[in-house]
Amino acid sequence: MKQNLVIITSFSFISAFLGLLGCENDRNSDVICKNNPELCADLHRDSWCRFEKGDLVRHRLVLKQAETPSGQQLFQQLIYLENYSNCIELAAGVQHILNPERTQDRERAYAVSTQTLNELQEYTKDNPDIYLAYYRWLRFNDKASQDIVLAAYQAGNVAEPQILSQLAAYYVRVSPLEAKRIYRDLFTKTSFDKFNSDWLLGLASVFQQQQNFEYVYLFTKANTLLTENQVDEKQLFGLIGGNQVLAQQLDLQAQTLISDLKSGNFANSVSVVLLNAPENAQ
């Protein structure tokens, strides 16, 4: 196997690939492939994994048009490569009796995509960019990369919700108060269409550590209202000592919390007090 990085098929192609500045603005991946065949030569040809393939192709065009890819762009390419590789791996397992060449094409595409992903990971392994450090921390639990992200956060240089989400999950274990601050910022600054319901469970974990079981109940309940997650109602009810009156009050607060999140104005809502109240700053 080649040891050098590839973004598409080989590291030897990377300089030429990134140096090609195109003016193709069409967002249709088929048109992009027609006008830029080098972007799609390693991909499968049939209609499986259409969305994953389309995302990857469109982002390859972004990289082609970039004079120098940013860390964020390389991070996004890693994610799109992962998504495509995972999808085409499943598709490669579907055997075509009448058209076996389709199966072979997917198997080829999967093999190349895993090589491409591994080589891009190798290429970016020492890059100190925060997005790439975040990726290495997330995927490989790399301590040096974790330290880069933590230092950037402590310097006030992290605003990306997905990185803040990872930081919040980290601080739940080492500093619940800091985790709560991050979740508060995420709640107030993230639009509802990008809101991650796991943040509610993260807060429930914070309050569990603080033995504030009413809030554990409330945020867990809010998560179930927002998702299809199942919860042991008996166990949840037990958190508040089986107090039915209190349960009704907390259920109402959970419903209000979801409404306030959906409003897009959480910072000025009634529910913001749940994260600002002095008794919750312990």
Q: DSSP readout, 233-244? A: HHHHHHTTTT-H
Q: What would the 3-class secondary structure string for 7-66 be?
A: CCCCHHHHHHHHHCCCCCCCCCHHHHHHHCHHHCCCCCCCCCCHHHHHHHHHHHHHHHHC
* Domain annotation covers residue 190: yes
Cα dist from 12 to 9, 103, 209, whole Å: 9, 28, 52
- 105 and 135: one domain? no
Q: Give the confidence band of 14 by pLDDT, cuts at 50, 70, 90.
A: very low
Which of 138, 136, 173, 170 is CA-nearest to residue 153? 170
Structure-token pair, residue 32: 């992009």
* Domain annotation covers residue 3: no
pLDDT of residue 93: 79
Residue 227 has pLDDT above 70, yes or no: yes
Least confident piece of the model among 7-11, 165-169, 215-219, 249-253: 7-11
Note down the domain range covering 143. Answer: 125-158
- 38 and 119: one domain? yes
pLDDT of residue 128: 98
Number of structural domains, the chain?
A: 3
Q: Give the confidence band of 125 by pLDDT, cuts at 50, 70, 90.
A: very high
The amino acid at residue 263 is S
Which of 212, 185, 218, 188 is CA-nearest to residue 200? 218
**Contact by Cβ (8 Å): 178, 171:** yes
- 106 and 191: one domain? no
Residue 26 has pLDDT above 50, yes or no: no
* Domain annotation covers residue 206: yes
Which of 27, 49, 30, 50 is CA-nearest to residue 40? 30
As a whole number of angstroms, the distance between CA 167 and CA 259 comes to 26
* Domain annotation covers residue 2: no
Over residues 119-145, mean pLDDT: 98
* Domain annotation covers residue 261: yes
Q: DSSP readout, 60-85? A: HHHHHH-SS--HHHHHHHHHHHHHHH
Please identify, among 158, 181, 206, the residue that sits at the C-terminal boundary of a domain: 158
If you average pLDDT over every residue of the chain, what do you get? Answer: 88
- 98 and 23: one domain? yes
Q: DSSP readout, 152-189? A: HHHTT----HHHHHHHHHHHHHH-HHHHHHHHHHHHHH
Q: Give the confidence band of 182 by pLDDT, cuts at 50, 70, 90.
A: very high
Over residues 101-108, mean pLDDT: 90
- 73 and 142: one domain? no
- 132 and 207: one domain? no
- 16 and 114: one domain? yes
Structure-token pair, residue 261: 């999140």
- 20 and 119: one domain? yes
* Domain annotation covers residue 164: no
As a whole number of angstroms, the distance between CA 124 and CA 282 comes to 40
Packing angle of the helix pair 71-92, 130-140 (nearest 10 deg): 40
**Residue 62 CA from chain centroid, whole number:** 20
- 120 and 133: one domain? no
The amino acid at residue 234 is K
The DSSP code for 95 is: P
- 179 and 275: one domain? yes
Instruction: Assign residue 219 a region (left: φ > 0; alpha: ψ between -120 and 50; beta: otherwise).
Output: alpha
* Domain annotation covers residue 149: yes
pLDDT of residue 16: 42
**Contact by Cβ (8 Å): 206, 172:** yes
- 227 and 130: one domain? no
- 15 and 95: one domain? yes
**pLDDT, tens digit (0-9, with 9 covering 90-100), for 28-85:** 889 999 999 999 999 999 889 999 999 999 999 999 999 999 999 999 999 999 999 9
**Contact by Cβ (8 Å): 25, 64:** no
* Domain annotation covers residue 24: yes
pLDDT of residue 99: 74
As a whole number of angstroms, the distance between CA 64 and CA 43 comes to 17
**Contact by Cβ (8 Å): 80, 135:** no
